[in-house]
Amino acid sequence: MKDFKEKLSGRIFFVLALSSISVLALITVFILIKGTPLIAEVGLKDFIFGMTWAPGRGEFGIFPMIAGSVSVTFGAAVIGVPIGICCSIFLAEFAPAWLSKIFRPVIQLLAGIPSVVYGFWGMIFVVPLIRDYLGGPGLSILAGSIILAIMILPTVISISEVSILALPRQYKEGALALGMTHWQAIYSVVLPSAKSGIVASVVLGIGRAVGETMAVIMVLGNAVALPESILDPVRTLTTNIGIEMGYAEGAHEQALFATGIVLFVVIMIINGLAQYITRDKNKGRR
């Protein structure tokens, strides 16, 4: 009887655990079924590299959106990653304990702000600034990059900081004992040792930026056109779905699911990359 209970509870947990995986499978299958017919019809190459998105005329080319996603994400990384890494170095190496005790929860709070609030703030504050001082419509790659840069900070900072703090104390002591200054020890021993964690934090941050929808809808302008400068409005893969899903039907709806497939594959690749980077390379290490 007891044995039976043990086995049963094991099964129950297994089924519940399975449900989380099966949801993923379900979603994957669903968007594949919904999206692939259109990709097959249009042709993968024309779908991805097509320059015209005109659902009304049956033209489904998402290249401008891909360009939009890439440019905004790249911009976010250029702005956010250096700030994030410097911040993590400061917290892990320089900040006195009391200061990092204040910093850490505040940074985590950044992660807790709903993305629509970021978008709203961007729309009210960042967009007019860009319009007034740099020109253009304000709704632009730059605005999106700035908002996303702030949004990826918590990811970059916390994962980088953890990977620096997780290093054995002996690394830094060893470096200092060789007569290095604190900064020399950081850049020649601490950072290279924490490299995989830092790179992973960047990749995960980029993954977050690629997937973000709400905040960027509000500041990007959403024009389906190849941007010529960072002050031009763009549409990303995510915003394309977010904007049009409400009224899309038939082939148009399928095309949005197909956009979802592309996005899905990109995110999978990015997360796979992060896993690959953080894999345990030094299994034999004592």
Partner 1 sequence: MSEISEKSRLRTENLNLYYGSRHALKDITMEIPSRAITAIIGPSGCGKSSLLRVFNRMNDLIPEARVEGNVYLDKISVYGEETDAVALRKKVGMVFQKPNPFPMSIFDNVVIGPRRHGVKHRDELESIAENCLRRVALWEDVKDNLRQSALNLPLGTQQQLCIARTLAIEPEVILMDESCSALDPESTMRVEELMTELAQSYTIMIVTHSMEQAARVSDMSAFMMIDDEKIGRLVEYGTTEQIFSTPKDKRTEDYITGRYG
Residues that bind partner 1 in the complex, under the rule CB under 8 A: 168, 170-171, 173-181, 184, 188-189, 192-193, 282, 284-286
Q: Which of 80, 134, 139 is nearest to 111 (CA)?
A: 80
Q: Using only the alpha carbons of the chain, give its radius of gyration.
A: 23
* 196-223: b (≥16 Cβ within 10 Å) or e: bbbbbbbbbbbbbbbbbbbbbbbbbbbb
CA pair distance 40, 58, nearest whole angstrom: 14
For the bound state, the minimum distance from the C-beta of residue 257 to partner 1, rounded and expressed in Å, comes to 45
CA pair distance 56, 39, nearest whole angstrom: 17
- In the complex with partner 1, the residue whose CB is nearer, 185 or 234, is 185
CA pair distance 210, 199, nearest whole angstrom: 17
For the bound state, the minimum distance from the C-beta of residue 185 to partner 1, rounded and expressed in Å, comes to 9
- In the complex with partner 1, the residue whose CB is nearer, 57 or 283, is 283
For the bound state, the minimum distance from the C-beta of residue 192 to partner 1, rounded and expressed in Å, comes to 6
For the bound state, the minimum distance from the C-beta of residue 277 to partner 1, rounded and expressed in Å, comes to 15
- In the complex with partner 1, the residue whose CB is nearer, 96 or 246, is 96
- In the complex with partner 1, the residue whose CB is nearer, 20 or 170, is 170
- In the complex with partner 1, the residue whose CB is nearer, 24 or 97, is 97
CA pair distance 263, 282, nearest whole angstrom: 33
- In the complex with partner 1, the residue whose CB is nearer, 86 or 177, is 177
For the bound state, the minimum distance from the C-beta of residue 195 to partner 1, rounded and expressed in Å, comes to 9
For the bound state, the minimum distance from the C-beta of residue 164 to partner 1, rounded and expressed in Å, comes to 13
CA pair distance 206, 243, nearest whole angstrom: 22
For the bound state, the minimum distance from the C-beta of residue 25 to partner 1, rounded and expressed in Å, comes to 38
Q: Which of 194, 213, 198, 230 is nearest to 84 (CA)?
A: 198
* Chain-centre distance for alpha carbon 267: 8
- In the complex with partner 1, the residue whose CB is nearer, 189 or 237, is 189
For the bound state, the minimum distance from the C-beta of residue 174 to partner 1, rounded and expressed in Å, comes to 4
- What are the C-alpha distances in Å from 67 to residues 18, 41, 169, 216? 37, 23, 44, 14
Query: Token pair of 122, please?
Result: 């961007």
Contact between 234 and 143 (Cβ < 8 Å) = no
Length of the chain equals 286
- In the complex with partner 1, the residue whose CB is nearer, 95 or 225, is 95
